[in-house]
Structures are given as C-alpha cells and as structure tokens.
Structure 1
Amino acid sequence: MHYYRVATDQGTRLVGRDDRKAYDLTAARDGLRDFCDLAQVAGVIDTDIDGVTERLTADAPLLDAESVAEQAILPAIPGEVWAAGVTYEVSSDAREEESGRSEIYQAVFEGDRPEVFFKASPSRTVGPGEGVGIREDSEWDVPEPELGVVIYRDEIVGYTVGNDMSSRSIEGENPLYLPQAKVYDRCCAIGPCIASPATVDDPRDLKLSMTIERNGETLFDDSTSTSQMVRSPEELVSYTTRHNTLPELAVVLTGTSLVPEEFTLQADDQVAIEIENVGRLENSVVTV
C-alpha cells in the first residue's frame, strides 16, 4: 500500500492506495489525519500499517486514484530528516573529486561507522510539486536522489523518495562546511507518498532513476539500483538513533549513486526522481 496526504476542500486527508483503488482513510476514521496517526495506531494494536488499513477499507470511501496523485502534498511531516553519505562507491568517488581529499571519504566508505548528518527540519522540507532550493552563494548545486527510510519511534515503517539537495562547491571547499552545503531553506524534498515495507519488499533491490529538464530539454537522465548500497537501511537507522533521541516520526535518507558530473542546477529546472515500488517525486528549482 502507498500512503498519501492530499489537500481537499474538506481539509488534509490520509489516503491509502493499492494497485487498483484509493481509500479515504480519514473518512473511515476521523482521527487518522496523517501517516504518523496511522503508525501510532499500528503500534497500539501491535500490527503493521497495512494491517490497520485492511481493517478500514470496508468503511473507507473510494477516491479517484489519479486525482490522489495530482493532489499529493508532503506525505508526512517528519520532526527531523537525517541523511547518510558515501554509501555507494560512486558517491565516494564524487566526493573525492570535489574536495581533493580522497583519504577522508575512502575511510568512511571502508569504515565500520557510516557518515550520518542532520539534513532538515520540517520548515526546510518540501513535498511534491514544490520548489527545492539552491543557495545564492553557491556555484555548483546538484540534486541527490535517495531512498528515504521512514521511522516511527526508531522502527522502520515505510519508504519514500528523497532529494538531498547539495552545494558541491561549498562542501568541496572544506569538508567542515558540510552543514552549510546541506542544510538551508528548501534543502530537502520527500514524497509523493510513503510505501509500506510489504509493498517495497527488498529496499536493496530497487531501480532508482533521475531526470533533469531545463526549458523542455533533458539535460540528465540516468538510473542505478539500490543494490549498490554497501550499507543496509537497518544499519543506517541504527547509527542514526544511537544515543540520539529522534522525534516520534523521522526520515533517514540513505545516500546516492547518481551524481551529475560537470553540471549545476539553475532556477526553474525540473527534477524528477523515481524509485521502483515507491513513487515518483517531481520538483522545480528555486534560488534561496
């Protein structure tokens, strides 16, 4: 099942969508307003989120599945978004190239402890159809398409598509500038939905693709597989939550292996990221 938040004339609603139908879960139970509510109920009755949904479908009005996708907004409001770096070998190579400090990134790629860093607060996170930001003081900006792991009380409850916007020029100048390269207004996008673990099946065997268009012309179009990740989502979540109390609902981005070379984003570019079994996230680009 895929879970959406949609904006309607009746307010924000939680919708569960399978291959054939879209169910208005808020209409079935008024207390279910967002994905966090659903995860909370699942925890109370000791089942998974799809198990809760199965109990509600008989009472849930059906919605037009296509309109659900068109009306989708940020699928959940995570209290925090964290991210991992250098989880793919190509990412290690790219970071070495931009910084000229190969030993730092190779040590992370080969080490026991992954690179994990704070990425975004709710105010810095945007949903589908909204503008992702590039810094006005940066000369080299790229999107980073990533599988996002949705966690509720430190447990994995779903997956989403993430865009970890990055200033490669700022980070490349000095690795200690990483927070400025990664954390700023509109630095993160997630959506358009959250896919349940049962729907995703194996998160390390998913096709991931990204396209970038400018003035109707495709400037970048490439794909990869999450099978190239050297660390599992469970490992990344484990390190993120160690001695670190997270909000009730959070997202961990798992790193990227699609890094556009010799390319920088411009305002009004269009970025589309698609992950098999999860969804397709589309955003325009704005300068912040």
Structure 2
Amino acid sequence: MRYQQIARGAERHLVAETTDQHYDLTAAKPELESFRDLARAASVTDETIDEIARGALDDASELDAETVADERLLPVAPEEVWAAGVTYEISEQARQEESDTPDMYVDVYDAERPEVFFKATPSRTVGPDEDVGVRADSQWNVPEPELGIVLYRGDIVGYTVGNDVSSRDIEGENPLYLPQAKVYDRCCSLGPCVASTDDIPDPHDLSMSMSITRDGEEVYTGETSTIQMVRTCEELADYYTRHNAVPELAVLLTGTSIVPSDDFDLAAGDEVAIDIEGIGTLTNGVRTV
C-alpha cells in the first residue's frame, strides 16, 4: 500500500491507497493518526505496516483521489533526514567537475564506506506542493531527485521520493562547506506518499524522472533508473545506523544520477516534478531563502 497524510479541517488523517481506492485509516482507528503511529503499531505487534492497515480497511471511509490530492501534507515526519552521496557514476562525475579537490569523490565512489551525511530536520523539510528553497548567497543551485528510504528504529519500512536541494558552488568551493550547501531553510522535500516495502519489492530497479518548468516552459528533463546505483539500500541503511543513536523515524536519501548541466541554476518561481515508479510524483515550487 501507499500512505499519505491529509488535512481534515484542523485534524490530520492517515490515508491508505490500494490499487483503486483511498481509505481514511484515522476515521476507522483514531490511534492511527500518522505514519509513525502505523509503523509503531507494526513494530509492537510484529506485523507489517500493510497488515496493520488491512485490519482497519473494513471500517475506514473511502475518499476520492482528488480530495486526497488537494489536502495532502508531508506524508512522513522524520526526526532526521540523512542523505548518501556519490552513489551513481554521474553524481561522482558532477562532484568532480564542481570541486577544487576532485580526487576525493573518486575515492568515495570506489570505497567500501559510502558517504552518508545529515540533511535536514523537520523544520527544514517540506511536503508536496510546498516550496523548496534556494540560498540567496549561492549562484548555482540544483534539485537532486532521490529515492528515500523510510526507517523505523533503523529498519526499512517503506520508500518515498526526495529532493535534496543543493548549492553546488558552495560545496565546490571547499568540501568543508558541505553542511552549508546542504542544510538550510526548505532544503529538502519528501512525498507524495510512503510506499510500503511490500509495494516496492525491488527498490533497485525503479525508473525515475525529473522535469523543471520555468514561466510555463519546460527547461530541463531527465530520467534514470535506480538499477544504476552502486550501493544497495540495505548497505546505506547499515552505514547510517552503525554506532549511531538513530531516531524512531528517519528518512535516508540514496543519491542522484539526474544532474542538470553546469549552466543550469534553479531559480525562484521554478516548479520541480520528480517521479519514481511505484511511488508517485513529488511536485514543489521554488523560493529564495
């Protein structure tokens, strides 16, 4: 199943999407108010999140797809978002081109240990149809479309779409500036849903695409497949959780291989749409922060 969070007046409700219908799980089970509640219940009962959801479907009211799309919020609220870098060959090439110390990216691409870094807090993360941010002190900003791993107490329970917005000129100036290039207001978006691990049996063979629209015209489009990742989701999750006090709920972004040309700069007013097979399309506007 796929799970979304929607606004119902002043309340938030968890919605489960099957092949042909949307169900309001919170209306059936008020204790299932969020994806965190669903993952917690599954952990306590030693069931999957889909098994917990199916137990509530008979009592859940049905919602039409348009209503869900109009009212959707950030589908999962992790305490932390982390990200992995240099997991595709093209991202390794792009990092080399932007950097004054390119050899270090080759070393990471070929190394046993992946690059895993902190990306965002809840206050820096936006959901579907909200604006992501580009830094006012950067002249080279790009969206980075990525498959996101959703983890509950370090275990993989689902997948989402992520946009790891980055300031390439700041990062390229000096690798020590990476936190400033990656972590700032509205630097990350997640959505439109969380797809369960049962719904995504092989996260390493999903088509992914991104388009950017400016003033009503498409200014960039690209596509790839997660089959090109040189790391597995399990490997990245393992390194993220090693010797690390991970929070109850986290998202780990897995890197990108859709990289706009060096003369492209994401600008306020642009619209970014990222689609991953089996999960959906995450759409965000852009503003300067």
| Residues 1:136 and 2:140 aligned together | no
1:256: Cα distance to partner? 0.2
Q: Distance in 1 between matches of 2:199 and 2:270?
A: 31
How far apart are 1:48 and its partner, in Å? 0.4
Q: Secondary structure at the match of 2:268?
A: coil
- Contact kept, 8 Å, 1:204 with 1:232, in 2: the verdict is yes
Deviation at 1:200? 1.3
1:210 paired residue number: 210
Query: How far apart are residue 18 of structure 1 and its match?
Result: 1.1
Cα-to-partner distance string for 1:81-118 (whole Å, 9 max, x where unaligned) = 00000000000000000014221000000000000000
TM-score of the two chains, using structure 1 as the length reference? 0.99
Q: Deviations over 1:15-70 (max 9, x none)?
A: 00111111110011111110000000001111100011111111111111232122
Report the secondary structure of 2:129's partner residue.
coil
Residue 222 of structure 1 deviates from its aligned partner by 1.1
Give 2:208's aligned amino acid: L
Q: Give the aligned partner of residue 256 of structure 1.
A: 256
Match of 1:196 in 2: 196
1:281 matched residue in structure 2: 282
DSSP-derived class of the 1:139 partner:
coil
Q: Give the count of matched residue pairs.
A: 288
Amino-acid identity (%)? 59
| Offset, 1:10 | 5.3
Does the CA contact (< 8 Å) of 2:16 and 2:24 recur in 1? yes
> Where do 4+ consecutive residues of structure 1 move more than 6 Å?
none
What does residue 234 of structure 2 align with? 234
Quick one: which amino acid aligns to residue 268 of structure 1? Answer: G
Letter in 2 for 1:267: A
Give me the whole-angstrom Cα distance separating, in 1, the residues matched to 2:91 and 2:101: 14
* Matched letter for residue 282 of structure 2: L
1:268 equivalent in structure 2: 269
Corresponding residue for 1:89? 89
**Alignment check: 8 A CA contact 2:141 2:265 kept:** yes
1:219-243 superposed Cα distances (whole Å, 9 cap, x missing partner): 0011000000000011101101111
DSSP 3-state at the match of 1:277: coil
Equivalent residue for 1:56? 56
Alpha-carbon separation, structure 1, partners of 2:29 and 2:251: 25
- Unpaired runs of 5+ in structure 2? none
Give the SS at the match of 1:138.
Answer: coil
* Alignment root-mean-square deviation, CA: 0.7
Aligned-partner SS, 1:83: strand
**For 1:223, what is the secondary structure of its paired residue?**
strand
Aligned 1:1-288 pairs, distance under 5 A: 1-9=1-9, 11-261=11-261, 262-288=263-289
The DSSP-based 3-state class of the residue aligned with 2:259 is: coil
SS in structure 1 opposite 2:81?
A: strand
The 1-side partners of 2:42 and 2:240 are apart by 23
Is residue 132–residue 284 contact of structure 2 (8 Å, CA) maintained in 1?
A: yes
Q: Tell whether the 8 Å contact from 1:2 to 1:194 is kept in structure 2 after alignment.
A: yes
Counterpart-to-counterpart distance in 2, 1:122 and 1:243: 23
Q: Output the CA distance in 2 between the equivalents of 1:57 and 1:151.
A: 24
Q: Please say if residues 100 and 174 of structure 2, whose CA atoms lie closer than 8 Å, have aligned partners that are also in contact.
A: no
The CA distance in 1 between the partners of 2:166 and 2:286, in whole Å, is: 12
**CA distance in structure 2 between the aligned counterparts of 1:72 and 1:206, rounded to whole angstroms:** 24
CA distance in 1, matches of 2:239, 2:143: 24
Scaled by the length of structure 2, the TM-score of the pair is 0.98
CA contact (8 A) 2:147 2:161 kept: yes
Distance 1:3 1:78 in 2: 15
